[in-house]
Amino acid sequence: MSHPPTRVAIVGGGPAGLAAAEVLAEAGMGVDLFDAMPSLGRKFLMAGRGGLNLTHSELLDAFLARYGARQSQLEPLVRAFDPEALAVWARGLGIETFVGTSGRVFPREMKAAPLLRAWVHRLRENGVVTHARHRWVGWEGSDDGGRLRFATPEGEKTHDAAAVVLALGGGSWARLGSDGAWIPLLAERGVAIEALKPSNCGFDVAWSQFFRDKFAGEPVKNVVASCATASPRRRGEFVVSEHGVQGSLIYALSASLRDQLEREGRATLTLDLLPDRGAERVLEDVSHPRGARSLSSHLQSRVGIAGVKAALLREVLDKEAMLDTRRLAQAIKALPLVLTATRPIDEAISTAGGVRFDAMDANFMLKRLPGVFCAGEMLDWEAPTGGYLLTACIASGRATARGVLGWLRH
């Protein structure tokens, strides 16, 4: 007499939850996948609006170093499902990929929706049952035996499962379901959690009203940025916002800048506005007699500094410094922008903090809650944009699913 498959509940329909569901279903487990939103992968779809960055093509050792303080915890997961494996996996869903000029890997269609549709279709073909508009609100009673409670449009429902995978995301973009509401539910059960912090976030700068009105929304291109606590310096571009600065170059340094702000109450972002011209050459060009020309015309013709870059110099330097050729040249090569705060966590692309790794065993099962596993961004790690977040989330979901299989078969 055959027995029905063991059923596992997965709470959270983002990439980590979907990846866990895939591994479990392929292993013959029955899977119920719950999500608070009306459809799966809402944040995944939003992240792909400008071109879904699946992963990155750089050498694996360099790739792994992007996980910083959590490299040792994430390395085994990512090595087990590395960027090359992820591209092969996407191809299996009918999604061809290509490597962009920055080394980032994208689907040829540059969209998240076709991949998500194919992924969810394959999960359902493999027997995964999805439950939309089911917001997890904890356990029934004091016994953590798998009876999960969900708030639904039809009222509260409960669900029994042999094991549970929580893949509930961090705390950014709450309107898409990643709201951190799971934190008190686990904390009251004694699970150790690091407070969530914004990651890949913008920062506040005390712009003058003139600069804000004239340049908010302007991109600052081809600069090199650095901060005292991060290495190496990074080249790229960012955007002047109404409140301060944001964009890919800022996000690459955001963890170091955020931590400096926490320690010191302020942080300094240093900009090289002319990274392709040496300091001596800049000084020589700035010092060239300008005759009757205005300083603005002189900077534009001799140095190539105009528009928002020239405005940044005037924003940071006083009139006396602007007229001092040596100080002006130094500022062009190392302009200090003082950051006063991170932008709110809900504006961040991702979050740091979450369930501590020492709160789980080697298979990502919570030590305080046997049979309950965690995956994805709700764990205490962070990474820059560039495909590193998505790769680790998918790798984490797959690794957690393997942990579930090992525990159920023990």
pLDDT at 240: 97
Looking at 342, 370, 400, the residue that finishes a domain is 342
The answer to whether the CB of 198 falls within 8 A of the CB of 342 is: yes
Q: Are residues 133 and 192 in the same domain?
A: yes
pTM beyond 0.85: the answer is: yes
Provide the domain count of the chain: 2
CATH number (domain holding residue 31): 3.50.50.60
Residue 57 is assigned to a structural domain of this protein:
no
User: 212 is in which domain, residue-wise?
Assistant: 203-342
Q: Are residues 125 and 175 in the same domain?
A: yes
Residue 68 is assigned to a structural domain of this protein:
no
Starting at the edge strand found earlier in the chain, the sheet holding 129-131 runs: 129-131, 30-34, 7-11, 163-166, 372-374
298 has a pLDDT exceeding 90 = no
- Cβ partners under 8 Å of residue 237, min gap 6: 219, 220, 221, 222, 223, 247, 248, 249
pLDDT band at residue 231 under the 50/70/90 scheme: low
Q: Are residues 11 and 155 in the same domain?
A: yes
Looking at 292, 314, 342, the residue that finishes a domain is 342
Residue 270 is assigned to a structural domain of this protein:
yes
pLDDT at 98: 95
Q: Are residues 281 and 404 in the same domain?
A: no
Residue 64 is assigned to a structural domain of this protein:
no
Q: Are residues 224 and 120 in the same domain?
A: no
Residue 79 is assigned to a structural domain of this protein:
no
CA distances from 279 to 36, 274, 335 (A): 55, 9, 13
Residue 166 is assigned to a structural domain of this protein:
yes
Q: Are residues 323 and 214 in the same domain?
A: yes
Residue 62 is assigned to a structural domain of this protein:
no
Distance CA 395, CA 19 (A): 8
Q: Are residues 153 and 251 in the same domain?
A: no
Instruction: Quick: pLDDT tens for 25-76.
Output: 999 999 999 999 999 999 898 877 778 899 999 999 999 999 999 999 999 9
Q: Are residues 253 and 367 in the same domain?
A: no
Q: Are residues 329 and 290 in the same domain?
A: yes
Q: Are residues 336 and 266 in the same domain?
A: yes
352 has a pLDDT exceeding 90 = yes
Residue 71 is assigned to a structural domain of this protein:
no
CA 354 to chain centre: 13
Q: Are residues 176 and 287 in the same domain?
A: no
pLDDT at 31: 98
Q: Are residues 189 and 287 in the same domain?
A: no
pLDDT at 102: 87
